[in-house]
Structure 1
Amino acid sequence: MVSAKFSSKALALSWLAALAGALSVIPVSAAEVATAWQDGHRSKARLIFGRTASGAPMAGLELEMHPGWKTYWRNPGDAGGVPPYFDWSKSRNLRRAEVLFPTPHRYKDKVGTTIGYKERLILPVKLIAKDPSKPIGVALIAEFGVCKDICIPARATLALEVTPATLPPLPAELKTALSSVPLPTAGPGGRLPYPRSLSLELGRAPKLVIEIDYPAGVQGADLFVEVAGELYLPPAVRVGAPRNGTVRYHIDVSDGVDLKALKGRELRLTMVSAAGAAEGRATIR
């Protein structure tokens, strides 16, 4: 299992050493701004960079895994995986790095359900500089899991100094990843899914019952649920047939879930459909 905290040795990593390693490989093309690839267990990682149409700097954490291997979303599922963890504390002139997650996928096997991505992934990262007129020294230590039959911890240490004003336009693959990040739900009247109802049903088999409306149709419908803090929720399971574009999901909370702690908690809902994915919030009453 991957530790949620870095060792003191990792945190003491020298910026100069990281930067020297990142600059040791020539980019693939003159227009590309990227770190060198760093090899890991059945995987490799690098950072790519570009500038949005509005001029904002953006990075992408690119992971490539061997055929059949997967990595995990923020909620990895119930098959023994771990969510990724990012440390940007060694960066310079970086006020904040906001990691965005493209729409995940659900994979089922004999162990359980994995929520994540297979073989290739780019996580877009918004870079907010302390002083936008100066270069940003981006330094990242990323911990993530890769799995095929079992989960293996992996780590990448990546760094590069970039000047926002001289970055090239976003690479095509980063644009594609950004376009697959779920949008904020617009509620009724749009094409994207939105939450219709949420309730906690008690009894012999306590469960959360969530209904999602899919205005553009239920093709590709799925739901991924997160709760803040130390609470864990199993993956949502679709139940019954859709009714007038509404799909019902259950989350089993009968085992190992503090029911008292659930009440009043806000859930983060990632609602998926063929028409697109949306993200919304709902509170357990």
Structure 2
Amino acid sequence: MNVTMRRCALPVLTMLALTGGAAVAGPTVSAWDGDARGAVRLIGGGATADAPSTVAGVEIRLGDGWKTYWRYPGDSGVPPRFDFSRSVNVKSATVRYPAPHRFADGGGTSIGYKGGVIFPVAVARDDATQAATLAVEVDYAVCERLCVPKTGTATLVLPAESAAAPTAPATGAMSPATNGSSLGGLAGAVARLPRPARVGDAGDFSVRAVHREGEWPTPRLVVDVAAPAGTEVDLFAEGPTAAWALPVPNPAGSGPDGTHRFTFEVDGAPAGVDPRGATLTLTAVAGDRAIAVPVTLDP
């Protein structure tokens, strides 16, 4: 069985059916595994009317004041790791990451979530006419003043897709809560998945421009993000693999036409890797919207 953790791909379009008019089966949930600081459970969202896979969710509940991390945790922290190898009749499980937030963390900046988070999962089965058992083990960290490593497990039976009785999807808050989130929270998490975009796209929210300042080996990227007035805007940068450790972009005032400007040094490539020609992923967040934009570094 394949387990993948993706930044920006077709599963977003499949999952977005949860927030539109497509029908889905009613939600089921597993028991929580954890304590007051952090706990894990599975949510079964069911199959969409036009999707080849089931949309499920891994939910992490967090205690007041505790946080957990995005796939790239920033200057400190540990990203979550998902193991679905004990699942039955599951061909692949693709984990997606809702837009995160930045947190001041001692002398640096971390990237992640507070209050709780649901990671949508696109589940493809070996046999769609049969029930599947989705089993996950999650290694993650929860942090307040100190960080605590945790492992949570959950198991959930997903009915055969052809047997699922469709119901109208619920709509949920953008920040999933703890005990009552279920399908509404899963729909909210899907809505916060970054959508694929390109530099210079039209519209009220886009990465308008990216340019390089300075010369190699340590140039700086300048990124201008357009967003509606009054919207809180943020930007995160990732390398082509998890081995990269780019700095968290810093807000740098206003760019042309009232855009929000961010800058960061192109530093943190793995040892022996020439960053010239590499494609980075910029995740821009504006309120409850997010986009993922590929940017190739020129030589």
User: What TM-score do you get using the length of structure 2 for normalisation?
Assistant: 0.76
Q: Distance in 1 between matches of 2:270 and 2:119?
A: 30
Deviations 1:208-262 (A, max 9, x none): 3132331534731211111123221121112132321433322235678759621
SS in structure 1 opposite 2:255?
Answer: strand
- Given candidates 33, 36, 42, the residue that maps to 2:37 is 42
Given the alignment of the two structures, is residue 185 of structure 1 paired with residue 197 of structure 2, yes or no? yes
Between structure 1 and structure 2, the one with the greater Rg is: 1
In structure 1, the gaps of 5 or more residues are 1-30
Given the alignment of the two structures, is residue 74 of structure 1 paired with residue 71 of structure 2, yes or no? yes
Indicate the residue corresponding to 1:86 in structure 2: 82
CA contact (8 A) 1:145 1:154 kept: yes
Shift, 1:150, TM fit: 2.2
Given the alignment of the two structures, is residue 136 of structure 1 paired with residue 121 of structure 2, yes or no? no
CA contact (8 A) 1:221 1:272 kept: yes
CA contact (8 A) 2:27 2:46 kept: no
Let me know the Cα RMSD of the aligned residues.
2.5
Indicate the residue corresponding to 1:268 in structure 2: 281
Shift, 1:176, TM fit: 1.2
User: What TM-score do you get using the length of structure 1 for normalisation?
Assistant: 0.79
In structure 2, the gaps of 5 or more residues are 1-25, 170-182
Indicate the residue corresponding to 2:5 in structure 1: none
- Given candidates 106, 109, 119, the residue that maps to 1:110 is 106
Shift, 1:43, TM fit: 1.0
Shift, 1:144, TM fit: 0.9
Matches within 5 A, 1:14-25: none
Q: Distance in 1 between matches of 2:268 and 2:94?
A: 34
163-172 or 31-40, larger mean C-alpha shift: 163-172
170-179 or 194-203, larger mean C-alpha shift: 194-203
- Given candidates 188, 206, 226, the residue that maps to 2:218 is 206
Indicate the residue corresponding to 1:18 in structure 2: none
CA contact (8 A) 2:36 2:63 kept: no
Deviations 1:53-111 (A, max 9, x none): 42642111111111000000011111x20111111122122121111111101111433
Percent sequence identity is 32
Matches within 5 A, 1:199-238: 199=212, 201-202=214-215, 206-214=218-226, 216-217=228-229, 219-229=231-241, 230-238=243-251
CA contact (8 A) 2:66 2:144 kept: yes
